[in-house]
Structure 1
Amino acid sequence: MQGSFLRLYVREGDKLHGRLLWEWLLDQGCRLGVRGGSAFRSIGGFGRSHAVHEGSFFELAGTTSIEVEFVVTEEEAQRLFALIRQAQVRVFYVSIPARFGVINPDAKDPPELSAEE
């Protein structure tokens, strides 16, 4: 199946309607029927301000980034982007073309996810 590896970057402490933004993003992906999503905390990095943040300093707690990842079809990506726009959340993202599937699928896997090779 063809689609994208979609990675969204948010700050660890960012919230939307009192909820952590990375949790909200995962929930939206789940509600849209995306097959899966994950969130990872970075140990360090920098963004557009070029200020390096490291997760090891107590005084910087909550300033590192969270990477939220999905493997999605084009339609799923567009629906997720529409929800983010509607919520008026500023999110930096990367979308990389991806081919994905399941090797040795079981009865619960949709036929389109069967490995092509």
Structure 2
Amino acid sequence: MKLEGEAKLLRVFVGESDRWHGRPMHEAIVAEARRLGLAGASVFKGFEGFGAHSRIHSAKILQLAEDLPVLVEIVDTEEKIRTFIPVLDQMIQEGLVTMEKVEVIRYQPKGKNA
């Protein structure tokens, strides 16, 4: 699959202690995105942040790292991203999901030509 031009960036903000059927939420989101054929997903772990409850979660040396923020980013066509949103609605009880327009410069799996 080759993806270039206008696309959508889906960002899913959750906590590292969030779970879906006993599995870390970020792992479950990536697995579902792959199962549904989205172009790709990346997971980033934050070292500090706060959410809806305004409680700071931090990985400072003198504090116990507890429920650090995790960000899952997925880029694909608008159509594919929009079909994935109802899946997230079923999975996420608490978190933030954003979507924005992006321009893909190049996405082409290695060894594949247009």
TM-score (norm 2): 0.81
Q: CA RMSD in A?
A: 2.2
1:4 and 2:8 correspond:
yes
Tell me the equivalent position of 1:22: 26
1:70-81 → structure 2 map (5 Å cutoff)? 70-81=74-85
Classify 1:103/1:47 alpha carbon distance in 2 versus 1 (closer, same or farther; 3 Å): closer
TM-score (norm 1): 0.79
For residue 45 of structure 1, the aligned residue among 42, 49, 57 is 49
Equivalent AA in structure 2 for residue 102 of structure 1: R
Instruction: State the number of aligned residues.
Output: 108
Classify 1:103/1:45 alpha carbon distance in 2 versus 1 (closer, same or farther; 3 Å): closer
Distance 2:107 2:42 in 1: 20
SS of equivalent to 1:40: strand
Structure 1: runs of 5 or more not aligned: 112-117
SS of equivalent to 2:30: helix
1:23-102 → structure 2 map (5 Å cutoff)? 23-56=27-60, 57-58=63-64, 60-61=65-66, 63-87=67-91, 89-102=93-106
Q: Which runs of 4+ in 1 moved over 2 A?
A: 85-91, 103-107
Classify 1:27/1:45 alpha carbon distance in 2 versus 1 (closer, same or farther; 3 Å): same
The higher relative CO (CA closer than 8 Å, separation ≥ 6) is in 2
Aligned residues with identical type, % of pairs: 26
Once the two structures are overlaid, the 10-residue window that deviates more, 5-14 or 86-95, is 86-95
